[in-house]
Amino acid sequence: MISGGEPYLRKDLPEIVQSFTNNNDIKFLTIPTNATLPRIVYDQTRKILETCDLKHFNVALAVDGIKEKHDEIRGFPENFKLMQQTYKYLCLLRKEFPNFAISTVTTCSIYNQKELLNIYRYVKRFLRIDNFVINLCRGKPREPEAKNVDIRYYEDLINVLDKEIMNGLWRYSFRGAGLWKRKDVLQHRLILRTFRERRRIIPCYAGRLGLVLNEIGDVFPCELLAEAFGNVRHFDYEIKKILSQEHVKNVCRWITESCFCTHECWFGLNLLHNPKEFLKVLVSKR
């Protein structure tokens, strides 16, 4: 995932992606966007699709409300109309490139929690997308009260969403996508439990199998943890050298023993690398 800020503000975004495909042989890529730059998103996405060998490339459009409510939450006038325009542009690319997908991402906060089902119904009716993603507000938002979510609204949404996932409404086209979607259902349930019980439910591999690389080269175990492991420029651009440090091992040990959160990206990673929990995904196929 190449995230931000707004990734499409980078004029060299296609070159960044190409660097990862050439040097790290990545095959799956997601770029989230606030969708305020329709033509730039189209042009940059086209260039990535034309120049990078990816099995699956997904652009995720932020949708935090309907019409004026989205603009209000985002603090950007006409954001909703620009999102719709961006979506229309990207649909042209989806017709041309079979490895390209469009999704939406809704962040559940105190400001839109009562509208989650309405947002979902709107997206399902008016946007022909490949996946609908729901995130819980986390980290340090500009307004701290944004995280004061009534989890019952999140539960109401995933009760509807998960049934439709299992019935095949939302579906990526890459190999193994069926299992991936069942993983999403289990992920929603585990996030719900984590939020309510305020404890870690499954092992976390942040700092070992998952890392965050920021725009200046600092490496972090997770976007929620502020202390960097080191900078790639100081370790000959070798991630393994950074991870071999003793203090890094201590942080990873602390994460395993004491840390918990509802970070969706890390929940997905943790499930896919946890055979005991992932077995539940396989069983859920019956």
In the listed set 145, 174, 203, which residue is the last one of a domain according to the structure?
174
**Which residue segment(s) compose the domain that 43 sits in?**
7-174
Domain shared by 233 and 144, yes or no: no
pTM for this predicted structure: 0.92
pLDDT at 280 > cutoff 70: no
The pLDDT score that the predictor gives to residue 172 is 66
For residues 113 and 175, give the distance between their C-alpha atoms in angstroms, rounded to a whole number: 34
pLDDT tens per residue across span 113-145: 999 999 999 999 999 999 999 999 999 998 999
Please answer whether residues 91 and 120 qualify as being in contact, where contact means their C-beta atoms are separated by less than 8 angstroms: no
The pLDDT score that the predictor gives to residue 278 is 66
**What is the number of domains present in the chain?**
2
Domain shared by 133 and 243, yes or no: no
Sheet bearing 131-136, strands edge to edge: 28-33, 56-62, 100-108, 131-136
Mean pLDDT of 203-213: 94
In the listed set 154, 174, 194, which residue is the last one of a domain according to the structure?
174
What is residue 238's three-state secondary structure?
A: coil
Residue 235, in any domain of the structure = yes
Domain shared by 143 and 238, yes or no: no
**Single-letter code of the amino acid located at 185:** V
pLDDT tens per residue across span 138-163: 999 989 999 999 999 999 999 999 99
Domain shared by 123 and 40, yes or no: yes
| Residue 80: CATH number of its domain | 3.80.30
Sheet bearing 218-220, strands edge to edge: 212-213, 218-220, 230-231
Residue 195, in any domain of the structure = no
pLDDT tens per residue across span 232-261: 999 999 999 999 999 999 999 999 889 999
The pLDDT score that the predictor gives to residue 286 is 44
| Reported confidence tier of residue 180, pLDDT bands at 50, 70, 90 | confident
Higher pLDDT, 170 or 156: 156
Domain shared by 129 and 233, yes or no: no
Conformational region of residue 265, where left means phi above 0, alpha means psi within -120 to 50, and beta covers everything else: alpha
Domain shared by 60 and 169, yes or no: yes
| Reported confidence tier of residue 178, pLDDT bands at 50, 70, 90 | confident
Q: Which among 185, 197, 198, 212 is positioned nearest to 267, based on CA atoms?
A: 185
pLDDT at 57 > cutoff 80: yes
**Average pLDDT value over all residues in the chain:** 92
DSSP per-residue letters across 119-155 = HHHHHHHH---SEEEEEE--S--SSGGGG---HHHHH
Whole-angstrom Cα Rg for the chain: 19
Number of residues written out for the chain: 286
For residues 194 and 178, give the distance between their C-alpha atoms in angstroms, rounded to a whole number: 25
